[in-house]
């Protein structure tokens, strides 16, 4: 079964500092990879996704992620944190032969002014 | 273009009752998936419907069921509610076969069982 690991259930950064949220997946065959953001009592908003092609993916709100097959990782970064980035972030995969999402346990991002 | 609409947004039910949640997908989307989100278990896949047929099912008891109508709208039903069924239920719609990677999520229905 597919598994997704997000290291760090809580991450705090200062406003203006680098944001790094980690995600590793378990699969010998690279799946489709996603990062979603969730604000309190809201649904999931897609930040970015990797399906094929360039391994550095740019998303909305200044976020980007790099797919590293050798490390089975898809870490999310943003050069400069903004207060509005405070939210829950979920890494997810879809196996390339499947049709359902497998989600990580989420990382709560706090931005300190 | 309207997004994925879930109704109601909030629901309070008593243990033992049953509940029906509704999801209207984006126009033209034929696949609807449902997920349960709880603090303890995170986001877990319930089931997926495509063209009125259940195509995939997660590991949930038979109390959880769903269906999809010819207009692609979907409902999920939970019978004999338990306290542990309290959760945010999210649905996602996508164009269809092999297109789940392009899914959009709704705002969710917050179910509280008391």
B104: which chain A residues are within 8 Å (Cβ-Cβ)? 46
pLDDT in tens, chain A (113 residues): 778 999 999 999 999 999 999 999 997 777 899 999 999 888 999 999 998 888 999 999 999 999 999 999 999 999 999 999 999 999 999 887 777 899 999 999 999 99
pLDDT average, residue stretch B48-66: 94
| pLDDT tens track for B76-94 | 999 999 999 999 999 999 9
Q: What is the mean pLDDT of chain B?
A: 93
Out of B55, B58, B90, name the one closest to residue A43 (CB): B90
- Say yes or no for a CB contact (<8 Å) between B56 and A99: yes
Specify the 3-state DSSP secondary structure of A72: coil
| pLDDT tens track for B96-114 | 766 667 789 999 999 999 9
- Whether the Cβ atoms of residue A106 and residue B42 lie closer than 8 Å to each other: yes
- Whether the Cβ atoms of residue A83 and residue A15 lie closer than 8 Å to each other: yes
Distance CA A15, CA B73 (A): 42
- How far does the CA of residue B94 sit from the closest CA of chain A (Å)? 10
């Amino acid at each position: 079964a597919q598994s997704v690991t997000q290291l760090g259930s809580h991450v705090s950064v200062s406003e203006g500092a680098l944001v790094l949220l980690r995600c590793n997946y378990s699969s010998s065959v690279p799946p489709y990879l996603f990062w979603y953001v969730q604000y309190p009592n809201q649904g999931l908003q897609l930040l970015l996704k990797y399906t094929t092609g360039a391994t550095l993916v740019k998303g909305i709100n200044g976020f980007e992620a790099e797919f590293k097959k050798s490390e089975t990782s898809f870490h999310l970064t943003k050069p400069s944190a903004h207060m509005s980035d405070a939210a829950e972030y979920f890494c997810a995969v879809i196996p390339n032969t499947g049709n359902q999402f497998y989600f990580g346990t989420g990382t709560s991002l706090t931005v300190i002014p | 273009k309207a997004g994925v609409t879930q109704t109601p947004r909030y629901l309070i039910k008593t243990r033992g009752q049953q509940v029906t949640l509704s999801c209207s997908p984006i126009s033209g989307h034929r696949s609807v998936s449902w997920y349960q989100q709880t603090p303890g278990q995170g986001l877990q896949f319930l089931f997926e419907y495509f063209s009125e047929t259940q195509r995939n099912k997660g590991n949930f008891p038979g109390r959880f069921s769903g269906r999809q109508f010819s207009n692609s709208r979907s409902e999920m039903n939970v019978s004999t509610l338990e306290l542990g069924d309290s959760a945010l239920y999210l649905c996602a719609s996508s164009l269809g076969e092999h297109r789940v990677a392009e899914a959009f999520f709704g705002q969710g229905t917050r179910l509280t069982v008391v």
